[in-house]
Structure 1
Amino acid sequence: MYELGGAAWRKSSRSAGSGQCVEVATNLDDVAAVRDSKNPHEAALIFTKTDFARFLTNIKFGKFDN
């Protein structure tokens, strides 16, 4: 398990207050963490920073669009 006590969580600027958000913490040394903003005390997904950057790039270029 990864210690997330020092995580600085932030929501996307595009969340528009809908309540359907995820939060991300990228201030950690070697990982990026993602959690459900409605359940912040539940488990977070942990990514290497390289994998998280690759994931965001794929989103930006529409790789997951239907």
Structure 2
Amino acid sequence: MTGARASTGTSPPSAHAGQPLDQILRERFGFEGFRPHQEEVCRAVAGGADALLVMPTGSGKSLCYQ
């Protein structure tokens, strides 16, 4: 497959490791709460899982990829 990449299943070290996601959301992004599905995806990715998020335009996908 062209453009395919292998995944090691590991995440790069984070400057915010161990910090609660809701705290990061407030301090880094200025939001008081997650939109539907954002927290679930962010927790999965922070835990080292691969994730695919399919949501409509304007629903908050970009935050999950930060």
TM normalised by structure 2 equals: 0.28
Of structures 1 and 2, the larger Rg is shown by: 2
TM normalised by structure 1 equals: 0.28
Bigger relative contact order, structure 1 or 2 (CA pairs below 8 A, ≥6 apart) = 2
Higher strand share: 1
Higher helix share: 2
